[in-house]
Amino acid sequence: MELQLQIKMNPKLYVRDPESSELGRNIIKYGILMIHEMGFEDFTFKKLAVKIGTTEASIYRYFENKHRLLIYITTWFWTWMEYQLIFHTNNVKDSKQKINTVINLLTFQEKDQFILEHIDKDILHKIVIAEGDKSYLTKHVTEDNKAMLFKPYKDLCHRIGQIFLEYKSGFQFPHSLATTLIETAHHQMYFKDNLPRLTDFGNTKGMATLVKYLSHLVYSSLDSTVKKK
């Protein structure tokens, strides 16, 4: 079953809602493709304008700068991930099964149930892995945080943390483990493809070994006993 998906984004991310016009949707579609192709540093609105047959000024009517566009697409990704998690765990009672679903979602092992023609989610996933940290590793992160630009990422981490607490009530570090799981999954996928000697599965195909490692990481933490000081 495939479902139509419409995500409502924080208005502070854009000047004009890109979902409100064909040009806006093309900015998102080709912005994703070009950031993946050339990297965030080399990507510019001028190059994007040439690609989609518009003016650079027209793109600035939608986004203040390219960093806002990066936050927009990464935030969209986190919101979609939370939708996926809710969908796949909605009727699941077993907390261990929910945790396994989380790991499968983070490694793109679950079937995507949502349709959105102008966003290539596989390419966007690769951007989040390679470029996602740049959305918040900035001097103005506090200001952006106050504007609630990172709320979808926090919401996803909180939901994963609650699943950890379902598995082990009283666990001291649910949010820390949630962010560790997400960031580790992404770093290891990046290392696997680009710096394989930083992993133990650089020569493997598929995600089975990475899934095994992430499972070990999570359950070793949850099943251990940490005494409170």
**pLDDT at position 201:** 86
Print the domain residue range for 174: 3-223
pLDDT level of residue 49 (50, 70, 90 thresholds): very high
As for how many domains the chain has, the answer is 1
pLDDT level of residue 205 (50, 70, 90 thresholds): confident
Whether 6 contacts 118, CB under 8 Å: no
How far apart are the C-alpha atoms of 208 and 211, rounded to whole Å?
5
| DSSP, res 58 | H
Is 92 a domain residue? Answer: yes
The shares of helix, strand and coil residues in the chain, as percent rounded to the nearest 5, are 65, 0, 35
Is 80 a domain residue? Answer: yes
Amino acid at 195: L
**pLDDT at position 109:** 85
Helix or strand run (H / E) with residue 208? helix 208-223
Asked whether residue 206 carries a pLDDT value surpassing 90, the answer given is no
Whether 20 contacts 13, CB under 8 Å: no
Q: C-alpha 61: how far from its chain's center? A: 25
Asked whether residue 3 carries a pLDDT value surpassing 90, the answer given is no
Whether 62 contacts 15, CB under 8 Å: yes
Is 133 a domain residue? Answer: yes
**pLDDT at position 106:** 95
Q: How far apart are the first and last CA of the chain?
A: 49
CATH number at residue 51: 1.10.357.10
Is 228 a domain residue? Answer: no
Asked whether residue 108 carries a pLDDT value surpassing 80, the answer given is yes
Helix (H, G, I), strand (E, B) or coil at 36: helix
Is 229 a domain residue? Answer: no
Characterize 6-36 residue by residue with b for buried, 16 or more Cβ atoms within 10 angstroms of its Cβ, and e for exposed.
Answer: ebebbeebbeeebeeeebbbbbbbbbbbbbb
Whether 167 contacts 222, CB under 8 Å: yes
pLDDT level of residue 177 (50, 70, 90 thresholds): very high
18-25 mean pLDDT:
95
Confidence (pTM): 0.92
Sign of the dihedral through C-alpha 216, 218, 222, 225: positive
How many percent of the chain have pLDDT more than 70?
95
